[in-house]
């Protein structure tokens, strides 16, 4: 499988200036792609631009994925930059699952989570669908293992990510065969080193954090980036409508309390 040949491909990565999105964007650049980093955080985008050795391979576009006009303008600018869109990674989202009991959950907070994490995916695909069809492209959505299992008081986040998984299946049917659509559900991914400088902190991972993963360690953003690069490549040409759980095996582990 050759996932290192994405030359002449233009790929949009939302939320691409920090965390998993940044790892994905840089992995795609290494594979030869031109990457549109669509991010609402201008400070993070500016820092990333300073860090990248090949700045010409990146185009930074300020984007609020929950706002349709912002998304439409971003896709238009991406097309103006390279003339085509071959791939879309819907990574932008509010990452904090929250800890507010459902009885106290404010409707505005619910709507903000759904609007960014789920509606944002819909809006980006809606406006990128035509160029993706023309290019025979691929979409990779980023969900979470919270779509499959949950902890208390994470209703909005879990619902948003469960919606992304279901939306992926529907989009794969609606956009195929021209466009493939898949979703990655990351587990515990340590993103400390991939945040902007103001938020960057040393990882505080304990031995037990690694040991509870059947794979033997907590995940890294690079783990998700490798899967995204594969799913965007021609090597994944027969794969669509699937949810890839990348969690070190945690959702397959039975837990018994003594």
CATH number at residue 166: 3.40.50.720
Secondary structure of 48-111 as H, E, C letters: HHHHCCCHHHEEEEECCCCCHHHHHHHHHHHHHHHCCCCEEEECCCCCCCCCCCHHHCCHHHHH
What confidence tens digit (pLDDT) does each residue in 73-103 have? 999 999 999 999 999 999 999 987 778 999 9
Catalytically annotated residue among 60, 157, 194, 230: 157
Neighbours of 238 (CB within 10 A): 6
17, 39 contact by CB (below 8 A): yes
User: Within a domain: residue 175?
Assistant: yes
Lowest mean pLDDT of 151-165, 169-183, 243-257, name the range.
243-257
Catalytic residue list contains 157? yes
- In the chain, the number of structural domains is 1
pTM of the complete model: 0.95
Count of CA atoms in the C-beta half-sphere (13 A) of 135:
24
Q: Which domain holds residue 177?
A: 10-252
Tokens representing residue 9 in the block: 């491909």
Q: What percent of the chain has pLDDT over 70?
A: 98
19 within domain boundaries: yes
């Amino acid at each position: 499988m050759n996932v290192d040949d994405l030359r002449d491909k233009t790929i949009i990565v939302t939320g691409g200036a920090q965390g998993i999105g940044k790892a994905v964007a840089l992995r795609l650049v290494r594979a030869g792609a031109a990457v549109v980093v669509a991010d609402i955080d201008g400070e993070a985008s500016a820092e990333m631009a300073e860090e990248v050795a090949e700045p010409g391979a990146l185009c930074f576009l300020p984007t609020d994925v929950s706002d349709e006009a912002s998304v439409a303008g971003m896709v238009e600018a991406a097309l103006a930059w390279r003339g085509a869109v071959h791939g879309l990674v819907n990574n932008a989202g509010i990452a904090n699952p929250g800890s507010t009991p459902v009885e106290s959950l404010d409707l505005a907070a619910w709507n903000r989570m759904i609007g960014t994490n789920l509606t944002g995916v819909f809006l980006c695909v809606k406006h990128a669908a035509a160029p993706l069809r023309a290019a025979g492209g691929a979409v990779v959505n980023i969900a979470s293992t919270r779509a499959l299992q949950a902890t208390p008081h994470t209703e909005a986040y879990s619902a948003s990510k469960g919606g992304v998984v279901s939306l992926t299946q529907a989009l794969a049917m609606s956009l195929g065969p021209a466009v493939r659509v898949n979703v990655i559900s990351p587990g515990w991914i340590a993103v400390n080193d991939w945040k902007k400088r103001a938020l960057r902190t040393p990882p505080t991972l304990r031995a037990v954090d690694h040991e509870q993963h059947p794979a033997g360690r907590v995940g890294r953003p690079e783990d998700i980036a490798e899967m995204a690069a594969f799913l965007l490549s021609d090597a994944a040409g027969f794969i669509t409508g699937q949810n890839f759980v990348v969690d070190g095996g945690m959702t397959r582990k039975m837990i018994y309390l003594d």
